[in-house]
Amino acid sequence: MGGAMRIVVCVKQVPDTWSEKRLDPADQTLDRAAADGVIDELDTYAVEEALRIKEATDGSVVVVLTMGPAGAADTVRKALSMGADEAVHVVDDALHGSDALATSLVLARAIERTGFDLVVLGSESTDARMGVMPAMLAERLGVPQATLASKVEIDTATDPATVRVHRQTDDGQAVVSAQLPAVISVLEKINEPRYPSFKGIMAAKTRPTATWSLADLGVDASSVGLAAAATAVSDATQRPPRGEHTVIKDDGDAGVRIADFLVSHKLL
C-alpha cells in the first residue's frame, strides 16, 4: 500500500452496438443523433482497471475524462457511478468533426490540466476502431506507453512507481515496464467491470464534475474540428449486398457440396 496516484481514465461515448450507424450526409461525420449513445464497452475495462489500481493504493484518485457533446455527460456519470472520484467533460461546439490528431491534442491538454500519474484507456474505440489514441497521448504527453495490456501491475515500492504490463500484440506477448507518469491501454476481458451499485449511482450525483471549454484548455478553436482535420472523407456508400447467395439443407452430402463450392471458386 502507499503511493497515492492520480489516475485519469479516458472514456468515449459511442453509438450502441445494436443500433444502426451511419454518416451524416451533410459532412460525412458520424450521425450521433441516429444512434443511442452509451459508454464504450472497451472503456468500461479501463474504468475497472483504474478502480482496482486505486483500491490497491492508499489515497489514489480516479478522474474520468471525456470529450464529446453535452449528451456525453451520461457516459461520465456511468464511470462515476462505478466508483470514479471526479470527472472532467470537455465540451465545445468547435470540436465537432475533430480527427484523431485534434482529439489527442485536446485530451492531452485536459490531462495536463487536471494532473496525472497514470492515464488509462481502452485499447481502441468500438466505433472508429483506429486504436491510435493511447499511443498519440503518450507522444503528446511525452511519457512512456505501456499499452495493449492483458495484465497490469503497479509497483509503488520504487520511486517513482513502476507499471508493468503484459502487452499483447498481433505478433505475440511481451512484458513491458515503465516508470510513472505513463499511459496504459487495456484489452477487453482484462477484468470483469463492476456494475454500479445503488449507492454508487447516488454518490455519482455529488462527485465533482468539471466542464471545460477549449478556451479553458488554451486550445485554439481553429486547430480542432472538421475544418482543421488532417484527413477528409470524399464519399461514403453503403456496401452493396453480396452477389451470390445459396443456402441448402443438409441431405447427407453437405460436406461434399461445400467441397464442390470451394473447388468451383478456386478456394481448394
Which CB atom, from 167 or from 207, has the smaller least distance to other proteins? Answer: 167
Yes or no: say if 164 and 176 are a contact pair by the CB < 8 Å rule: yes
Residue 159 in contact with other proteins, rule: CB under 8 A: no
Residues in the chain: 268
Stretch that binds other proteins, among 22-30, 74-82, 90-98, 206-214 (CB under 8 A): 22-30
Interface pick for other proteins out of 39, 80, 133, 161 (rule CB under 8 A): 133
Q: Residue 77: how many CB atoms within 10 A of its CB?
A: 21
Residues 248-267 contacting other proteins, CB under 8 A:
248-250, 253-259, 261-263, 265, 267
Q: Is 123 in the site for other proteins (CB under 8 A)?
A: yes
The interface with other proteins within residues 70-109 (CB under 8 A) comprises 99-101, 104
Q: Write the CB contacts of 179 (distance below 8 Å, at least 6 apart in sequence).
A: 144, 158, 160, 161, 162, 163
Q: How far apart are CA 86 and CA 53, in angstroms?
A: 16
Q: Are the beta carbons of 224 and 98 closer than 8 angstroms?
A: yes
Q: Check residue 191 for interaction with other proteins (CB under 8 A).
A: no
Give whichever of 202 and 254 is closer to other proteins, judged by the CB atom: 254
**Contacting residue, 33, 157, 159, 172, with other proteins by CB under 8 A:** 172
Residue showing cell 512512456: 144
Q: 244: buried, middle or exposed (CB in 10 Å: 19+, 13-18, 0-12)?
A: exposed
Q: Which stretch binds other proteins (CB under 8 A): 3-11, 69-77, 176-184, 205-213?
A: 176-184
- Number of shown-chain residues binding other proteins (CB under 8 A): 84
HSE-CB for 232 with a 13 A CA cutoff: 5
**Is residue 4 exposed (0-12), middle (13-18) or buried (19+ Cβ within 10 Å)?**
middle
Closer Cβ to other proteins, 218 or 244, answer by number: 244
CB of 138 to other proteins, least distance (A): 7
Q: Which of 56, 70, 130, 202 binds other proteins (CB under 8 A)?
A: 130
The nearer residue to other proteins, 73 or 100, going by C-beta atoms, is 100
